[in-house]
Copies of this chain bind each other. A is one copy, B any other.
Amino acid sequence: MGTRLGELVERLGGQLMGDPNIEIFGIAPLDGANGSHITFLANPKLRAQAAQTQAAALILSAADSAVIGTKYKGARIITDNPYAYFARGAQFFAALQAIPVKPGIHSSAVVDSDAQVAATAYIGPHVTIEADAVIADQCVIEAGCFIGRGARIGAGTHFFARVTFHAECEIGGSGVIHSGAVIGADGFGFANEAGAWIKIPQTGRVVIGDDVEIGANTTIDRGALADTIIEDGVKLDNQIQIAHNCHIGAHTAMAGCVGVAGSAKIGKYCTFGGAAMVLGHLTIADHVHISSGSMVSRSILEPGQYTGFYPLAKNADWEKSAAIVRNLASMREKIRELEKTINLLAKKEE
């Protein structure tokens, strides 16, 4: 099933240059597109490739359109942000092709009689929903999910198969949680007494805003006394660990394998590369960007890009540099001695 180019522009905006009656059946990359596709140019380095694309239509900026000129013969949609336009276009075609979910509760699901499940929600096979949980309109809760006592799931939120969402936790509307994620397990809180650990009950919750996406096998722990907070629009990739009482500001995004220790307060519009780690009780300002594999061991109060990982080398070269790193203090001492000797020599010269 396709759509007219004119209809696409009516829905998504942008300025159409070309025939609105061209029918488009999907979206494809510059080099894979043919006459049934629309494609996009988001990276100026690919202008030459864009000029050659076989796509029926091309999403691009006014500036790139001017540079390409008449080399490309198809229709164009001019927009300030071609990549965001591509994302919306891809959503449009994905929705066209999606198999509709039929509302209702699968007969194998175990739903407590004191839970509230909207009539428009879908509850898949082998799901468990405990007492007083609230599942809002048009939620999709796929096979094998667990939703604990008193948890609240906002309208249109989608849990893929095998999500665990513990008691009293909340997520807003239009969210997505991927398979294997665990929201609201106990935080890691113990008091030490003569070497042994005494558990501190974790009585806070996890409270998640609207439009949040949480990746597969990611874990977000409930707070100790207060709550763990994830604000609107946050995007977390797979295998991330968010410890108890963290607060993550709106629209912050974290790539896979990131870890955030307890009570860290992270600002809005931040990004974290894969496997970055944040120590506990730190504050990170808005608009901070942490590179992959970097350990954040102190608060960051100024926006910018921060990095800290050991540079990769051939193993033999690393062996040498690592041995010197281990002994940098003695190298510095040596330089100080040389400096003294030089100063002495220079004095004698005078």
Contact = CB atoms under 8 A, between A and B. Distances in A.
A332 B349 CA distance: 25
Interface in A218-244: 219, 221, 225-226, 233, 235, 237-239, 241, 243
Contact of A241 (B91, B196, B257): B257
Contacts of A268: 195
Interface in A303-350: 304-315, 317-329, 331-332, 334-335, 338-339, 341-342, 345-346, 348-349
Interface in A86-126: 86-88, 90-91, 93-94, 99, 106, 108, 110, 124-126
Contacts of A323: 311
Contacts of A275: 259, 275, 277, 295
Contact of A257 (B186, B269, B277, B349): B277
A132 B106 CA distance: 19
Interface residues of A, number: 128
Contact of A164 (B162, B324, B326, B342): B162
A197 B175 CA distance: 13
A285 interface: no
B256 A261 contact: yes
Contacts of A320: 328-329
A29 interface: yes
A63 interface: no
Contacts of A216: 164, 182, 185, 219, 221
A188 interface: yes
A32 interface: yes
Contacts of A211: 196
Contacts of A339: 334, 338
A143 B312 contact: no
A313 B307 contact: yes
A325 B87 CA distance: 41
18 contacts: A91-B199, A108-B108, A110-B125, A148-B161, A160-B185, A162-B164, A178-B186, A195-B269, A197-B253, A219-B238, A219-B239, A257-B257, A274-B279, A305-B315, A308-B312, A325-B325, A342-B342, A348-B349
Interface of A: 27-29, 32, 81, 83-84, 86-88, 90-91, 93-94, 99, 106, 108, 110, 124-126, 128, 142-144, 146, 148-149, 160-162, 164, 166, 176, 178-180, 182, 185-186, 188, 190-193, 195-201, 203, 211, 213, 215-217, 219, 221, 225-226, 233, 235, 237-239, 241, 243, 251, 253, 255-257, 259, 261, 268-269, 273-275, 277, 279, 291-298, 304-315, 317-329, 331-332, 334-335, 338-339, 341-342, 345-346, 348-349
